[in-house]
Amino acid sequence: MSNLAERCRELAASAMKDGIANAALEVLRQYGYTGMTMERVADSAGVSKGSLYNYFRNKEELISFVFERIVEPAVQESQRIMAQPLGAVQKLEAMLRMLLEYFSQHRSLFDFLFHDAAIRELCMNSRRTKHDLATSQFESILRQGMQEGVFRPHEAKLAAEMLFGAVMFLIERQLELGERRPPEELVRHLLDVFLHGIRFSPSFPAGAE
């Protein structure tokens, strides 16, 4: 039957959605979240305002789609990292570096991700928010570390949340204050604090990293 035609159509539709999402991202970058109107998205995508509604039921759906597209590469990469045969510390390091590098790039996207409670609820996909994903991956790493015997026993879930919160806030502050510390440096400090703590312990070897 029209199997082929069907395929073609789906492909074309998919390409169109991508194009529109990219346009939306561009608008986001230029005008920020509040300035992201359907008109501007349409213009930026080079299509008519009406066409947007052929591919997305409404603005909400477009936003959700964009959200997914922003997060997706990071998710992919994080899963790649998780799948690697690395020790917990190395995984942690790789994960932190990836997040810092990825989200440091675009302030407006970052704002977009956290903007509003309404949006956040919008962008949840089957109880699996970005937060959930990230923290659960951190949690996995922490558990792996405990099994490996390199991390001492602790509540992995809470520690994972602390880690993620710390990373995100670090990124946010960098952007907010206009600082440009190299991600590498931030990774080092994060690991230093989270692995060893900041307190002198009697037996803590001075100068040890």
Q: Contact residues for DNA (CB under 7 A)?
A: 9, 12-13, 16, 35-40, 47-55, 57-60
Contacts of 20 (CB under 8 A, 6+ apart): 41, 45, 47, 52, 55, 56, 62
Does 33 help bind a copy of itself (rule: CB under 8 A)? yes
In this complex, which beta carbon is closest to DNA, that of residue 56 or of residue 102?
56
Residue 25 near residue 36, CB atoms below 8 Å = no
Using CB under 8 A as the binding rule, the residues of this chain from 93 to 152 that contact a copy of itself are 107-108, 111, 114-118, 120, 131, 135, 142, 145, 149-152
Residue 172 near residue 99, CB atoms below 8 Å = no
DSSP 8-state class, residue 139: H
d(CA 4, CA 192): 56
Residue 7 contact partner, candidates a copy of itself, DNA, none, CB within 5 to 8 A by sort of partner: none
Does 87 help bind a copy of itself (rule: CB under 8 A)? no
d(CA 116, CA 28): 15
Residues forming the site for a copy of itself (CB under 8 A): 32-35, 89, 107-108, 111, 114-118, 120, 131, 135, 142, 145, 149-155, 158-159, 161-170, 172-173, 176, 186, 189-190, 192-201, 203-206, 208-209
